[in-house]
Structure 1
Amino acid sequence: MPTSPTPLAQLPVRRLTSDDLLACADLSENRGWPREEHKWGFLLTAGTGYGIDDPSGTGLLAGCVVTSYGPGLAAIGMVLVAERYARQGVGRRLMRHVLAEAGDTALTLHATPNGQPLYEELGFAETSRAEMVRGRFTFTTPAPAVPVRPATADDLQAILRLDREVFGLDRTHVLTRLPSFADHLRVAEEDGEITGFAAAWPNMDTHVVGPLVARDTDTAQALIASLAAATDRPLRTDIDVRHTTLLRWVKENGIDPVASNSVMIRSLPDLPGDWRRRFAPLTVAAG
């Protein structure tokens, strides 16, 4: 008697490696997302990928990446299910596996409106929202006169100290990859002190601004303006909606809203760190 196929909700989940990069990009493309191979490469080396192979042998049926920040927090991103397997319990199967792997570690993610009900069912709660904005920066409304310059290797330790204070956890394993991942890395400096930093990394035809960490809105504006002056590509970023002044300013400068996602967390009442100085994530997939 032939063996019956394994139900989709019981298919095994495996760890992904950098060898799966093209399969991950194919999965993105299948769901109408950009291929984002540069970002996938970063996430698969800085974090841990999980995937379900298509029983037909034609690539990945589903996948995601988890970026760990120690026992205190991990970020889930790039949760994707192939179109032909959508709404058949595959996403829930993948997420339950990730939750089991995480154990007691708190988890955070950015949820689209379509994904939010599943995450709520799995114990995630909204803590804030992020607005994705995109466009060609017009310099219509000038940035405040805060000194900004390209970062150097000598700035790395100061960047890591500031980020740990603002993010609330150690992101050394992520931030030390920025010089090779990003095309531009800027720091704001006053009286010899690093007061903020931001990167612009290539993603298809845009430069994504992230992370964006700054002591105040003026500094955040100066960092964005400096990065905009360094590229001829449109900018894209995801700004915490509580930063209303910054959002208004980028829109005055031609960066228009594209979408709004829910920032969710599980097993903690809120994200660690200081949201007032955390303006945009490196990428919504990694927090």
Structure 2
Amino acid sequence: METASRDRDIATDDVALVPFSTRHLPGAHKLSVDLRWPYRMEDWDFALQVGRGFVLERQGEVIATAAWFPYGPDFATIGMIIVSGAAQGRGYGAKLMDALLDAAGPRVLLLNSTPEGQPLYLRRGFEPVGTIHQHQGLLSRRVEAPSPDVVRPMETTDLGAVLRLDEEATGAPRRLLLERLLDAGEAQVLLRDGAVAGYAVSRVWGRGHVVGPVIAPSAEDARLLIEAALSRLEGCFVRIDTELDTGLSPWFEEIGLPQVSDALIMVRGTMPPRGPARVFALSNQSLN
């Protein structure tokens, strides 16, 4: 999650808290444009298709947003938290976070926070567990694709294996998210002894293309999947979000995708068991 809030723990004024609906999409998009976030209207719409959330309105104007994304009854991620520049510092972030926590109930919750949001989340029981590196840039060099007997385009018959690997890597069932991602983008699968052992999705998002999620048994296997995706994206703006401990950041730097920011991974509760497949790149910092 990319967090733009500088809120204090204060409840304030007559601003209305209402469920996030499609009528709020133009206002949410304007909010992200004003704060120079890369979301397109289509990206807001995608998030609303797979999640739910709240907005704060003042006289019909959207001044803040927050969303959560349930993956089964036990786990969810939090993101899309934005408070307009003029409204920051008035407790609106706290108001939104408390609404999300109430809605999510006893689920284990994960979010990715910039430094501004960390005090708010720490006070609500979130603990840091890792770091996300955001890499992006114009891919100006050609990346060679691996052999098609190692990585090939995903077929409809691969869906069961992809869903199983994704749940193994994340600890949560994410069928709705994956179906929407597969509808929106292109997917590649990694083959080991003829069986699907990993997958990657690339899709149009933000300023260009995002590569993720990437699920694989090892960093070397993840790199093969990412090479397959990047081989089609020469000359495009590309973004990849990866955990620091994947060890992939130096390679991204080498191929012209510098690190531009980072985020703190924070969790409230105990993460579900995961592995041996793991996440090497996120679909984005809100959806994970």
Q: Same fold (TM over 0.5)?
A: yes
CA distance in 2, matches of 1:18, 1:159: 30
Instruction: Provide the residue aligned with 1:274 in structure 2.
Output: 275
1:12 to 11, 16, 19: 16
Contact 1:215-1:277 within 8 A present in 2 as well? yes
* C-alpha displacement of 1:222: 1.0
Report the residue type matching 2:253 in the other structure.
Answer: K
* SS at structure 2 position matched to 1:71: coil
Choose the corresponding residue for 1:250, options 249, 252, 264: 252
Structure 2 residue 27 is the aligned partner of structure 1 residue 23: yes
The counterpart of 1:39, out of the listed 22, 38, 43, is 43
Quote the residue 1:71 is aligned against: 73
The one-letter amino acid of 1:126's match is P
TM-score by length of 1: 0.89
Question: Matches of 1:120 and 1:141 in 2, distance apart?
Answer: 41
Q: Which residue of 2 aligns with 1:3?
A: none
Letter of the 1:38 counterpart: E
Amino acid at match of 1:133: H
- Deviation of the 1:140 alpha carbon: 7.8
For residues 182 and 244 of structure 2, the distance between their equivalents in structure 1, rounded to whole angstroms, comes to 28
RMSD, aligned CA: 2.1
CA gap of 1:264–1:275, structure 2 versus 1, over 3 A, is farther
Q: TM-score, normalised by structure 2?
A: 0.89
- The one-letter code sitting in structure 1 at the alignment partner of 2:30 is D
Amino acid at match of 2:17: V
In the alignment, the residues of structure 2 paired with residue 241 and residue 275 of structure 1 have an alpha-carbon distance, to the nearest angstrom, of 18
Question: Would the alpha carbon gap of residues 247 and 276 (structure 1) be closer, same or farther in structure 2, given more than 3 Å must change?
Answer: farther
Contact 1:42 1:181 in 2 (8 A): no
Q: Distance in 2 between matches of 1:272 and 1:210?
A: 21
Partner Cα distance (1:266, 1:30) in 2: 30
- Equivalent position amino acid for 1:44 in 2: L
Give a deviation string over 1:213-237, Cα, whole Å, max 9, x none. Answer: 0111111111111111112312111
Change (3 A) 1:171 1:109: same
1:160 aligns with 2:163: yes
Equivalenced residue count is: 276
Structure 1 residues not aligned, in runs of 5+: 1-6
2: CA distance between counterparts of 1:140 and 1:176? 29
Q: How does 1:1-287 map to 2 (within 5 A)?
A: 8=12, 11-54=15-58, 56-57=59-60, 59-137=61-139, 147-182=150-185, 184-231=186-233, 232-244=235-247, 246-268=248-270, 270=271, 272-274=273-275, 277-287=278-288
**Cα distance change, pair 8–61 in 1 and its aligned pair in 2 (3 A):** farther
Letter aligned with residue 210 of structure 2:
V
Bigger Cα displacement from structure 2, 73-82 vs 247-256: 247-256
Answer whether contact 2:215 2:280 (CA < 8 A) is retained: yes
| Aligned partner of residue 23 in structure 2, secondary structure | helix
Q: What is the rounded CA distance, in whole Å, between the counterparts of 2:203 and 2:130 in structure 1?
A: 24
Q: In the TM superposition, what whole-angstrom CA distance separates every residue of 1:245-287 from its partner, at most 9, and x where no partner exists? A: x22212111110010100100122x464238621112111112
**Which consecutive residues of structure 2, in runs of 5 or more, have no partner in the other structure?**
1-10
Residue of structure 2 in register with 1:4 after alignment: none
Identity of matched residues, %: 30
Q: How big is the shift at 1:144?
A: 6.9
SS in 2 for 1:242: helix
Paired amino acid for 1:169: A
Indicate how the Cα distance of structure 1 residues 141 and 173 shifts in structure 2: closer, same or farther if over 3 A, else same.
Answer: closer
Change (3 A) 1:9 1:103: farther
Contact 1:169 1:272 in 2 (8 A): no
CA contact under 8 A between 2:204 and 2:210: conserved in structure 1? yes
Residue pair 2:73, 2:107 contacting (<8 A) in 1 also:
yes
How far did 1:191 drift? Answer: 1.9
